[in-house]
Structure 1
Amino acid sequence: MPHIHEQQSAGRRSITAVLMRSGTSKGLFLHRDHLPENMDEWGPIMLSAMGSSTGDKRQLDGIGGATSTTSKVAVVGRSHREDADIDYTFAQVSIGSKNVDMSGNCGNMASGVGPFALDEGLVTAEPGQREVRQHAQLIRSLSRFLPDYPSPNVEEVLTKIPLQLDIRIFNTNTGRTITSTVAVGPEGRFLEKGDHRISGYAGSGSRIKVKFENPGGSMTGKLFPSGRRQNHITVASPGVPKEVTVRVTLIDAANPFIFVDSSTLPSVYHQLGPDSPTSLALIESIRRQGAIEMGLAPDRDTAARTRATPKIAVLAPPRINAHTGGATADAIERQPDIEVTAFSMGKVHPSLQLTGAVCLGAATGISRTVASDLSRDGRPAEERRDAPGKADVPEVSEKMASLVGGEVCIGQRSGKMLADVRVSPFGPSIEGVTVDRTAQRLFEGQVMLAAA
């Protein structure tokens, strides 16, 4: 039953919502039960709530922040699946146009789903009570060996030990499962406070572990949709004197991504920088052609209308000591394995999307991709132009073989990010990728909507 409330005095409607910072994004969280059963009716509600129902680039009539990272919606509800606790649908609300794109997932918004579900009573901390008993038994056992030491107040000690609750989330956009591990306070709600830091956000919070389970083929059914680990894409673009052929990896893990070797981009890109209109047009041309080769669009016009999928990023070898801001202590101590400049909705993205970290971690972990070639300790530059080879060669990259715990350190504009990658030893597949986030509830109440 939809919970769209009529506001008689204002002649408008409203819907119950929560606004959250989720990783390095900010967006609106809605209950699935509060929306119409027909998903085709969601668009006008989301456009109105975010301020895009009139195509306003500033989203003045809504709560959107006029950027791609602050114009997002998560729809959350209890799952009927045996392998999931929660169903989650992501929507990217366009800025300056009346479009809602639900073709892909957002990893940053996914990191807020667990905390939202816990605080809204969609899941409870009961499964974690086993941990409480284990802590209590351990404390009592240790106290027996210290007879002269005052027996600890077990309940008081336990209140200082945050529980960790695993919440299984089914993403309806991609048909994949995400496990979110969140800290739970003594009252059973999400414990926001903590000292964990992530790049791209100045504050701190409790660590949220977001694990993307078997993320390969989320939308295309294949980890490498083209059947190869490397492709060459040729495009023409305004402001670029002649056709350009770039080396790319087309990969689908949590979201479809196109990774471009920066050294194959024309000089005009490097001279003007990624933010220039000429560079942005070139990147968009590559993205549209890549969408066709990934089987996500039949032609460039169709690819142009679905701007959120596939996503695209430019890769380069790591620069030593180039990033420190906002990252965890572990990330600061690590030198980047790969450098990335990400793009979203036609603009440079301030930090790599979380699903981008999943894709990039996966690409770095499998041999003969653009990412593994360019990564630290990857193959020498003179070997990087080899024939790509087929995607079914079951090899783990040299980089992944040398990593302790399978961690990839990603250098980005806002700092560094660690992705824990688990590569299957039996073929070019990814068992899981885990990335740490934080989240915070900002607002709860009624969001006003345009009159029906």
Structure 2
Amino acid sequence: MSTKSFPAYFMRGGTSNGLLIKRSDLPADEEKWQPILASAMGSPDSFGRQLDGMGSGVSSTSKVMIVSKSDRGDADVDYTFVQVGIKDGSMDIAANCGNMSSAIGPFAVDIGLVPIAQKHTGRRANVRMYNTNTSKLLVGEFDVNKEGKYEPLGDYAIGGVPGTASHIALSFLYPAGAKTGSSLPTGHPIDELKLPDGSTIRASLVDIANPGVFILASDIGIPGNIAPDILGGNADLMARLEMIRQTGARRMGLDPSTPSIPKLVLLSSPTPAEATEQGINIICRALSMQQAHKAVPLTFALNIGASCGIPGTLANLTAVNAKGKDSIVIGHASGRLEAGSVVRDGEMLSALLHRTARVLMKGEVFYTIDDEE
């Protein structure tokens, strides 16, 4: 065994944080990434705390983004998202992370991957990003300062993050069918899932930005505003929800043993006060990597927002005051989030989300590695 290091940024992107690394600072062979990234994040850790690394024991803080200059004509940078398994150190690259995607543009500008003189007008810059996990294009627009570096200070607030920061707009281009090729992989807005225990449950299986299994909180007998700690602390309920997720994955033609996708999301309608006073259209509680999420994964907020506009889906039937709107407001465990979309002739051209990001630290990240690997 030996100790080595690589240069990296440690950043918050939306309601997640993680490492951002230039691809050239990792081995060319992706098969060699797993032990390096696992050790850097502090996994595997049977205690689930990642005390010996940069992670902090929850799925939204055990993330890595690997970025390179793109050879594509329609993108400035390529990036691969890695979800590092907390307890087992696995390297899951099946899905994208919308929250951490908001940090890609600022990172690329700050390290010089994107020449800012070519990309900014006034104090706004835009970076075109190609996500290798989903083979989809995104555009990030954000503030830069007079030195041509990312400007994090501003007055925009997002739910789940204290204080304010500068506004980042993320446009997901042609987001439908990210993994299955269709927004409704089964062709139905609602499917009846038969579970291994013989019971059944209604679910909407929707693939927009990332595939999701959407069910109603009321169909499993829990309140829609349940606290994540209470939800996650109910072992029997979490086991049942994982059974539902895996059954939905099979119906969508996805590998049920992949923990990152599809994710399972519980939906409910807002109270009259939430709908009128806060403008909330729908409530969600999300599960990620078999944990109750403290907010909502950004790509699944986008999926919910788009699903509200697909006739007959559970989101469409549950949302309040959402008919005819280009964007809807989602209430989650840490606040609210607005998701918008552009649809023309029945095709979703883009979906828009709003985030903030901040560089927390940059330097060398140390890891231990078996010299024989």
Which bin holds the TM-score, normalised by the shorter protein? Answer: over 0.9
- Return the offset for 1:438: 0.5
C-alpha distance in 2 between matches for 1:91 and 1:72:
6
C-alpha distance in 1 between matches for 2:155 and 2:224:
39
C-alpha distance in 1 between matches for 2:224 and 2:243:
13
Alignment match of 1:423 (pick from 337, 343, 352): 343
- Return the offset for 1:423: 2.3
Alignment match of 1:282 (pick from 233, 240, 256): 240
1:271–1:67 distance in 2 versus 1, CA, 3 Å:
closer
Identity level (%): 36
Contact 1:319 1:339 in 2 (8 A): no
- Return the offset for 1:125: 1.9
Report the equivalent of 1:75: 66
C-alpha distance in 2 between matches for 1:352 and 1:54:
24
1:268–1:439 distance in 2 versus 1, CA, 3 Å:
closer
Contact 2:157 2:165 in 1 (8 A): yes
Contact 1:320 1:335 in 2 (8 A): no
User: Which residues in structure 2 correspond to 1:80-159 (within 5 Å)?
Assistant: 80-128=71-119, 131-132=121-122
Report the equivalent of 1:31: 22
- Return the offset for 1:98: 2.5
Q: Is 1:244 aligned to 2:199, yes or no?
A: yes
User: Helix, strand or coil for the counterpart of 2:100?
Assistant: helix
- Return the offset for 1:95: 0.9
C-alpha distance in 2 between matches for 1:322 and 1:235:
34
C-alpha RMSD of matched pairs (Å):
2.1
1:54–1:360 distance in 2 versus 1, CA, 3 Å:
closer
From the two aligned structures, give the one with the greater helix fraction. 1
C-alpha distance in 2 between matches for 1:50 and 1:411:
30
User: Helix, strand or coil for the counterpart of 2:95?
Assistant: coil
Contact 2:129 2:139 in 1 (8 A): yes
Equivalences, count: 367
User: Which residues in structure 2 correspond to 1:278-317 (within 5 Å)?
Assistant: 278-297=236-255, 303-304=256-257, 306-317=258-269
Q: Is 1:265 aligned to 2:217, yes or no?
A: no
- Return the offset for 1:61: 1.6
User: Which residues in structure 2 correspond to 1:96-245 (within 5 Å)?
Assistant: 96-128=87-119, 131-132=121-122, 163-236=123-196, 243-245=198-200
Per-residue Cα deviation, 1:330-378 (whole angstroms, up to 9, x for no partner):
xx9642111101111111101111001110011011211110101104x
Alignment match of 2:292 (pick from 348, 372, 377): 348
- Return the offset for 1:235: 1.7
C-alpha distance in 2 between matches for 1:333 and 1:270:
17
Contact 1:320 1:336 in 2 (8 A): no
C-alpha distance in 2 between matches for 1:271 and 1:79:
43
C-alpha distance in 1 between matches for 2:89 and 2:202:
34
- Return the offset for 1:234: 2.2
What is the TM-score of this pair, normalised by structure 1? Answer: 0.77
Per-residue Cα deviation, 1:145-166 (whole angstroms, up to 9, x for no partner):
xxxxxxxxxxxxxxxxxx1111
Letter of the 1:309 counterpart? I
C-alpha distance in 2 between matches for 1:334 and 1:271:
18
1:121–1:269 distance in 2 versus 1, CA, 3 Å:
closer
User: Helix, strand or coil for the counterpart of 1:92?
Assistant: strand
C-alpha distance in 2 between matches for 1:409 and 1:269:
16
Alignment match of 1:22 (pick from 8, 13, 16): 13
From the two aligned structures, give the one with the greater strand fraction. 2
User: Helix, strand or coil for the counterpart of 1:223?
Assistant: coil
Report the equivalent of 2:210: 255
C-alpha distance in 1 between matches for 2:335 and 2:152:
22
Residue segments in structure 1 that go unaligned for 5+ positions in a row: 1-9, 133-162, 238-242, 298-302, 324-331, 378-398
What is the TM-score of this pair, normalised by structure 2? Answer: 0.93
C-alpha distance in 1 between matches for 2:295 and 2:33:
28
C-alpha distance in 2 between matches for 1:400 and 1:38:
48
Per-residue Cα deviation, 1:260-291 (whole angstroms, up to 9, x for no partner):
12232247999996331121111100000001
Contact 1:268 1:279 in 2 (8 A): no
Contact 2:44 2:85 in 1 (8 A): no
C-alpha distance in 1 between matches for 2:186 and 2:302:
19
Report the equivalent of 1:408: 328
Contact 1:20 1:442 in 2 (8 A): yes
Contact 1:64 1:70 in 2 (8 A): yes
1:441–1:270 distance in 2 versus 1, CA, 3 Å:
closer
User: Helix, strand or coil for the counterpart of 1:46?
Assistant: helix
C-alpha distance in 2 between matches for 1:235 and 1:44:
36
Contact 1:269 1:278 in 2 (8 A): no
Per-residue Cα deviation, 1:392-427 (whole angstroms, up to 9, x for no partner):
xxxxxxx341x2xx1111011111111112223x23
Q: Report 1 or 2 for greater relative contact order, CA contacts < 8 Å, sequence distance ≥ 6.
A: 2
Contact 1:57 1:96 in 2 (8 A): yes
C-alpha distance in 1 between matches for 2:243 and 2:128:
37
Alignment match of 1:366 (pick from 310, 323, 327): 310
Report the equivalent of 2:37: 46
Residue segments in structure 2 that go unaligned for 5+ positions in a row: none
C-alpha distance in 1 between matches for 2:365 and 2:138:
28
